[in-house]
């Protein structure tokens, strides 16, 4: 009867795996596949000003990793391939995220203002790395970190709608392009 504990242990481990959404390994990579998102902001003034937005999410890490059990994080890279700077505003820019489930979540761009307790608990050097930038210079790249409340974001994003105060007439739609990238 020394092995009588094996069956209850197997049941508990199976229940934990199912609750985390971890199933048997899938031959196609399943949860390990990266979801790629892309969007573009064109100035529309004929000057060739273009800004590219992209992000990548690994679904399993997205569901497992959080900031202080309060937020999931997606990094959006902004590449300004034009010559004029793109002005950003921590208080005026906004990101709405549509999840695969269809739910819409408002992303947090300025964690220091929105949730000072979480922000203040982070080391100063980390706060400096994830602070919302003021601009993306011509020919430069910056990273923006979008924080999604854990309670509202159990599912992987499908689409990001990024509205810039400096360009309210042209919201950037950053879509899942994984299928197009895979081919």
Q: What pLDDT, in 10s, does the model give residues 103-144?
A: 999 999 999 999 999 999 999 999 999 999 999 999 999 999
Render the burial of 33-58: b for 16+ CB within 10 Å, e for the rest: eebbbbbebeeeeeeebebbbbbebe
Residue 172 lies in a domain: yes
Q: How many domains does the chain have?
A: 1
Residue 22 lies in a domain: no
Domain that holds residue 50: 27-182
pLDDT at 15: 35
Residue 103 lies in a domain: yes
Residue 8 lies in a domain: no
Residue 5 lies in a domain: no
Say if CB 111 and CB 130 are below 8 A apart: yes
Residue 138 lies in a domain: yes
Rounded to a whole number of angstroms, the CA Rg of the chain reads 20
Q: Using CB atoms within 10 Å of the CB of residue 93, give its burial: 0 to 12 exposed, 13 to 18 middle, 19+ buried.
A: buried
Confidence of residue 181 (pLDDT cuts 50, 70, 90): confident
Which residue in the block uniquely carries the two structure tokens 């709405």?
Answer: 96
What predicted TM-score, i.e. pTM, was given to this entire model? 0.81
Residue 3 lies in a domain: no
Residue 41 lies in a domain: yes
| For the chain, percent of residues with pLDDT exceeding 90 | 71
Which DSSP symbol is given to 132? P
């Amino acid at each position: 009867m020394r092995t009588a504990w094996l069956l209850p242990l197997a049941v508990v481990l199976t229940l934990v795996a199912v609750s985390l959404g971890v199933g048997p390994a899938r031959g196609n990579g399943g949860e390990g596949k990266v979801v790629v998102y892309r969007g573009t902001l064109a100035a529309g003034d004929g000057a060739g000003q273009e800004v590219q937005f992209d992000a990548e999410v690994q679904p399993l890490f997205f569901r497992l990793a959080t900031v202080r059990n309060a937020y999931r994080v997606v990094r959006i890279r902004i590449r300004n391939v034009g010559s004029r700077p793109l002005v950003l505003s921590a208080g005026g820019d906004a990101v709405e995220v549509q999840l695969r489930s269809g739910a819409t979540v408002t992303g947090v761009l300025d964690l220091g203002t929105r949730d000072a307790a979480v922000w203040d608990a982070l080391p100063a050097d980390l706060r400096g790395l994830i602070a919302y930038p003021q601009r993306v210079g011509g020919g430069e790249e910056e990273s923006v970190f979008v924080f999604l409340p854990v309670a509202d974001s159990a599912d992987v994003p499908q689409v990001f709608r990024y509205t810039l105060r400096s360009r309210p007439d042209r919201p950037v739609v950053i879509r899942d392009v994984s299928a197009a990238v895979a081919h």
